[in-house]
Amino acid sequence: MADRAVLDRIESTAGAAELRAESYRLLDLRAGATVVDVGSGPGLAAAELNALGFQVTGVDPDALALELARERAPEVTFSVGTSDALPLADASIDGYRAARLFHLLADPGPTLAEARRVLRPGGRIVLVGHDYGFLALDAADQDLTDVVLLGLESAWVSPRSGRSLRNLLIDHGFRDVETVVHTEVVTDFDVLADRLAAAAEAAVKACLITTEDAGAWLADQAERGRSGHFLAACPTFLAAGTR
C-alpha cells in the first residue's frame, strides 16, 4: 500500500473530492441506508459516507490499510476481504461502491456477480475507474510521451477498464445504467511525480525507450512543474445502475 501521506495528498485535491461526491450522488440512497465500499483502502470515502448518514462497511484485502481506516473512521465496520468474496450476507446491502478497483482485475465477472449477490433488489451500484488509455499529458516531445504512457499502462492488469464499466453493468443484469465522465486537470507536478517516474521506468524495462530518453523526459516534466507549465488531464469513468 502507498504511504498514507501520499494517498491523502492525492485524495485532497479538489478534483478527487468532486469525484467522490459524484459517486455518492449516483448512489442515490437515503440516509440510514447500508453501503459497502469495496476496496476501501485507508477509509476516506467510508468516513465521508458515514458522515452523510449511511451505515457503512469497508472491505479491503490490505490489513495495514484497514488499520489506518479504523483510526480515521472508528464508527465504520472494516473487514479484510476481496471483491469476489465479500464478508456479507445475500441481499443485505442497499448500496455498493467500488473505486479504483477494476484496473486491478483480469476477470471482472466474479466481482460483479458478488456485487449482485450482496445487493438487495432495487439496490444501487456505483463503479469508479480510471482509463489510462485516455490520459493526456503536455510535453516537449509528444511522441515520446505517448510511448512513456504505455509504460504507465503496463503497471496495471486492465489499464483501460474505465471505458468498459457501463457495459459490465449491463452485461451482469443491472438496469437503468448511466455513465458520467469526470476529467481532473492536474497542474501540480508533485501530485503525479511518482507515477510518471514509475511509467518511465516501466517503459525502459519494456525496451520501449532508453534510459537517456527516460531521464530527458522526466527532466522536461519536472521543469514544467517548476515553471508552472505542467498539465495533465486524467479522465475517470463513473457507471451506476440498479439491481
Residues 117-128 have pLDDT tens digits of 999 999 999 999
Residue 10 has pLDDT above 90, yes or no: no
Domains of the chain: 4-242 (3.40.50.150)
Q: Is the pTM of this model over 0.75?
A: yes
8 Å CB contact between 55 and 35? yes
Strand (E) or helix (H) holding 57: strand 55-60
CA atoms within 13 A on the CB side of 158: 15
* pLDDT, averaged across the chain: 94
Long-range contacts, 63-68 (Cβ 8 Å, 24+):
64/1, 65/1, 65/40, 65/41, 66/40, 68/4, 68/42, 68/43
99-115 exposure pattern, b = at least 16 Cβ within 10 A, e = fewer: bebbbebeebeebbebb
Residue 3 has pLDDT above 90, yes or no: no
Strand (E) or helix (H) holding 84: none
Residue 1 has pLDDT above 60, yes or no: no
Residues 123-153 have pLDDT tens digits of 999 999 999 999 999 999 999 999 999 998 9
Residue 2 has pLDDT above 50, yes or no: no
Cα–Cα distance measured from residue 43 to residue 37, given in angstroms and rounded to the nearest whole number: 9
Which is more confident, 195 or 117? Answer: 117
DSSP 3-state of 60? strand
Between strands 119-130 and 55-60, the pairing is unpaired
Residues 36-76 have pLDDT tens digits of 999 999 999 999 999 999 999 999 999 999 999 999 999 99
8 Å CB contact between 177 and 230? no
